[in-house]
Amino acid sequence: MSNKPSPGRVEGGQRLSAMNDARSEGPTALSPAASLNADPPAVPVTGPRLGQQAKVGAIRVRVRVLGQPAILGVPDEQHLRPHAMEFLAYLIVREGSARQDEIIEDLVPEPPHRLAQQRLHTYTYNLRQIFRTLGGDNTHLELRRHRYTLNPDAFDVDLWTMREAITAAEHATDPETSTSALRRAVTAYHGPLAAGTGYLWLTRYREAAAEQFLTAAVTLAGRLADRPTEATAVLDLAARHHPGHKLLTTAAATAADPSRRPPPADRPLSPPADPKSAHI
């Protein structure tokens, strides 16, 4: 799965925050009456992505980070450490890759460096066990030259799906294709990034993901201006995740009174790329 832009780094935090082991379900296609919490079918690997040769089993590992973070489908008897889930979420928002020193600075700044490294090894081992159970392979998470990297071929991640759809909407050459991509982006969003966790490195990443979602939702509602029921459904969905947000209030007023609609803007759907997330 391809990744799209992520925000700048948050200052190093204190001790890792704990969260309950999450078990959740995945998204469905957007419609005014559809539930966004239905469990989707398994996603078969059909070929390499991002120019890389896929070396994974038949099923991608499905991960949700929009809303409460979870690896979907983990057997009840297999334990996912809360800190391992946080480590995975961190890699996901960083486009799937981060250097060991950056991870330690943001996730485990308090212990001595050697102990912090040991903790990362523990989280890595826990994740690899789960990935092997779900995906039948051991190439999901690699450590090379002090850089941890997720294999994008091996995962189906809601945040990556949203980013990919937004990029597709920006580069579409016809309105229908762009609108369809915006629908996919809005549907992928289940709530604020890593909701309910309190991760100390999270704030800027969460704000950037929310801005991407809200911009996509408002843009989609504008594209559906001639279908006010659908446009209202999109804005209502966005308001459930971010009630009272300024963008939604303005868009709702415009939907109710089309004469207030401003001329099209050149504002991009995606924020600028985060230099820190670039591979070195």
Distance of CA 156 to the CA centre of its chain: 10
Of 70-84, 118-132, 238-252, give the lowest mean pLDDT range: 238-252
Q: Give the tokens for residue 259.
A: 């004469």
- Kindly report, residue by residue over 43-80, the tens digit of the pLDDT: 343 333 433 334 545 589 999 999 999 999 999 999 99
Residues in the chain: 280
pLDDT at 250: 77
Contacts for 208 with CB less than 8 Å, ≥ 6 apart: 5, 6, 7, 271
pLDDT computed for residue 37 by the predictor: 35
Q: 21: pLDDT confidence band, cut at 50, 70 and 90?
A: very low
Residue 155 has pLDDT above 90, yes or no: yes
Q: How confident is the model at residue 140 (pLDDT cuts 50, 70, 90)?
A: very high
Which stretches of 118-222 are assigned E, i.e. beta strand? 141-144, 147-150, 155-157
What is the 8-class DSSP label of residue 207? Answer: H
- The arithmetic mean of pLDDT across residues 117-137, rounded, is 93
Among 180, 156, 145, 151, which residue's Cα sits nearest to residue 166? Answer: 180
pLDDT at 31: 38
Token pair, residue 263, equals: 């001329």
Tens digits of residue pLDDT in 168-222: 999 999 999 999 999 999 999 999 999 999 999 999 999 999 999 999 999 999 9
Average pLDDT over residues 242-270: 66
pLDDT of residue 78: 95
Q: What element of type H or E holds 127?
A: helix 113-135
**H or E stretch at 99:** strand 97-99
